[in-house]
Chains A and B, each alone.
Chain A
Amino acid sequence: MAKQYTISFRIKIIFGFVFIALFTIFLAQSVSQNYVRKILISQLLKNLNFIPDIIYSAKQAIQWNNELLIADKVIQLSKNEDVESIIILKENNEVYISNDPNQIKVGSIYEIKFSDYKKAGEYLVDYEEKELSLIKDFYYENKETNKQNKYYIVIKLRINKIINTINELNKKFLLIGIGIIFFGISLAIPFSSFFSKKLIEISQAVRIIGQGNWDYIIPISRKFKDEIDDVAAEINQMAQDLKVAEHLKIEQEVIKQELQIATEIQHTLLPKTNPQFENISTYSFYRSAKEVGGDYFDWLEVSENLLGIVMADVSGKGVPGAFVMTMMRSTLRSHSKNIDEPAEVLKRVNAVLKPDIKKGMFITVWYGILNLNTYLLKFANAGHLGLIVFKNSTKTIEIYRPKGMSVGLVKPEQFNKILQPMEIKLDKGDIILQYTDGVTEAYDKEENLFGDERLKNIILEHNEKSPKEIIEKIVEAIEKHAAECEQSDDIALIALKIEK
């Protein structure tokens, strides 16, 4: 990797300022220098009012063939501080008059390089670094021969003054330039520190936010917002979003943990095995949904020949549901010993649980007691689904649903008044099935419920088989029905069959 150099934002801004300032000065200097020079030269040329006079004298000298007539003027002019020298040339470039100190002597040939000259007004001008020469042509008509002869007058001027003026100007520019650089730097420093202060603030804020202080807010100027403020605003927003995301994550974590606790409770409390008897076979099935519900079933040893059967559903899910389910199980287990009336047990359970159950929560409980010798089944139903009974003698299915309110809803007076006991006699080949609403309320893709008709038909079709096989068929059918749909509620099923 290439080495990285850190150049602070401040230095970059200062360099930028200085560069722009210098560039501007340089441009202004060269433009104004040319402009000033042009003006000064044109002024100088305007002041050359002696030229017509000297041309007049030259013509006289030519006419009288007497150089002295002009030499006097030339000498006089050479005292003019602007004039360096004057040369008058004949058409054939022969020097007629010269006071040039550089060996341009009268009678010699002096070639004019016209290409060096530019037209400036009525003169041709050649401007060099230190010298300005101008040429003007004039004609002398020889009256004897009637011939026009062309002459040139070349005047070399001193331009020290112009050079000095321009040098003065450049000096001023230099001073202004230095001034601007200092001014620029002194302006750039607070300006850049204004920005770099913000940037430093932002980088500190990002560090602070990164440590988990999501509520840290970078101050933003309200009136004059710039891109840095936009960045700050974005970061503030990001911190808020991160905060929400983290809370969500924690919440989800808590829910996940809660779910695990509820699942563990449920698994601990549900029976691990099903009781087996010589003449009676039993089976149970439980599968939790994503959100663990409060399904509960149990086999209880009420007495030597009485089997208690429980199927219940707590209205709450998760930990609260599991908690109520735990209370319910303990109460039921401790109050069911040696009592052969299910309705009595449920009345006691309601009386115990009602004051302790959170408002809005309740439990639907079906409780049956089967005499293992006589096959008499007594049961009571506190708001739970009806008991499905397959009668082998008629090959029909009956649903028994004696009246009863859910446990935990109302005070004992009302609960006891409504709860009705019921009993049926089972015979060889009869099957009973209890379940929770997760079974019949399993949805398919078109939101059709599984329903109890399907349930009944499966039992009718497979009544020859064992409770295990029948429940497996039911589960299979539910899976087929709810294929591709998430299981929304717990599924619990228990079945019992009189084999002999």
Chain B
Amino acid sequence: MSEINVELKPLPENNNVYVLTLNGTLDTHTVPGFSEKLSNYIKEGKTKLIFDCKNLKFISSAGLGTLVSALEDIEEADENGFIKICSLSEDIFDIFEMMGFSELFDIYNTFEEAKKSI
């Protein structure tokens, strides 16, 4: 069975920004749990998120949908809120680009770049 491990840590330099490290696959089995976690974070007021996808192996369309609704929730809750995505694998970046998600999210090659952009 596929699984996704989500680790949430505040950025040492800025406690308002949280780093979400994704490890595993986001598919039919793992998306519902992930989606619930993510919406809880946003409800708790964590509206500035960096998704570190270095170890994300696969993302399904439902997984992408979760990211979109998270972004909409964040924009509703906090006008300064954001989702930055970094360290996507080439395959997943292609999917992002193909579906037009690269226009929607701020995507960075490395975590450092994502951090600098804040």
Judged by a CB distance under 8 angstroms, whether B69 is at the interface is yes
Smallest CB separation, A456 vs chain B (Å): 16
Contacts of A401 in B (CB 8 A): 98
A315 adjacent to B103 (CB under 8 Å): no
Contact B28 A418 (CB under 8 A): no
Q: CB of A500 within 8 A of chain B?
A: no
State which of A62-70, A81-89, A380-388 sits at the interface with chain B. A380-388
| Bound: A409/B61 CA distance, A | 12
Q: Give the total of A residues in contact with B, Cβ under 8 Å.
A: 26
B68 touches A317 (CB 8 A): no
What string of 1s and 0s marks CB contacts (under 8 Å) between B23-58 and chain A? 000011000000100000000000000000000000
Q: Which of A171-179, A187-195, A249-257, A354-362 contacts B (4 or more CB under 8 A)?
A: A354-362
Cβ–Cβ contact A406 & B62, under 8 A:
no
User: Is A203's CB within 8 Å of the partner chain B?
Assistant: no
Return chain B residues, CB-CB under 8 Å to A382: 100
A405 and B103 form a contact (CB under 8 A): yes
A359 partner residues in chain B, CB cutoff 8 A: 68-69, 72-73
A361 to B72, CA, bound (A): 12
The interface size of chain B toward A, counting residues with CB under 8 Å, comes to 18
Asked if A364 contacts B61 (CB within 8 A), the reply is yes
B108 to chain A, nearest CB (A): 20
Complex Cα spacing A409 to B72, Å = 10
Report whether A317 and B62 are in contact in the complex, using a CB–CB cutoff of 8 Å: yes
Q: How many A-B residue pairs have CB under 8 A?
A: 61
Q: A362-B68, A488-B28 are in contact. Are A316 and B99 (CB under 8 A)?
A: no
Which chain B residues lie closer than 8 Å to A488 at the CB level?
27-28
The answer to whether A315 and B62 touch (CB under 8 A), given A291-B28, A360-B69, A488-B28, is: yes
B65 touches A405 (CB 8 A): no
Main secondary structure of the interface of A (DSSP, over half): loop
Q: A409 CA to B28 CA in the complex, in Å?
A: 20
Main secondary structure of the interface of B (DSSP, over half): helix
Given A315-B61, A360-B35, A488-B28, CB of A404 within 8 Å of CB of B66: no
Smallest CB–CB gap between A450 and chain B, Å?
A: 14
The answer to whether B68 and A360 have CB atoms under 8 Å apart is yes
Q: Is the CB of B99 within 8 A of A364?
A: yes
User: Is residue B8 within 8 Å, beta carbon to beta carbon, of the partner chain?
Assistant: no
Per-position contact with A for B56-79: 1 when CB-CB < 8 Å, else 0? 000001101110110011000000
Is B68 a contact of A409 with CB atoms below 8 Å? yes
Which residue of chain B is the closest to A436 with respect to CB atoms?
Answer: B61
In whole angstroms, what is the CA distance A291 to B101 when docked?
25
B104 within 8 A of A: yes
* 372-406 of chain A: CB within 8 A of chain B: 382-386, 401, 403-406
**Docked pose: A382 CA to B61 CA in angstroms:** 14
User: Can you list 14 residue pairs at the A/B interface with Cβ under 8 Å?
Assistant: A315-B64, A315-B65, A317-B62, A359-B73, A362-B61, A385-B98, A386-B98, A403-B100, A405-B101, A406-B100, A406-B101, A410-B104, A414-B103, A418-B100
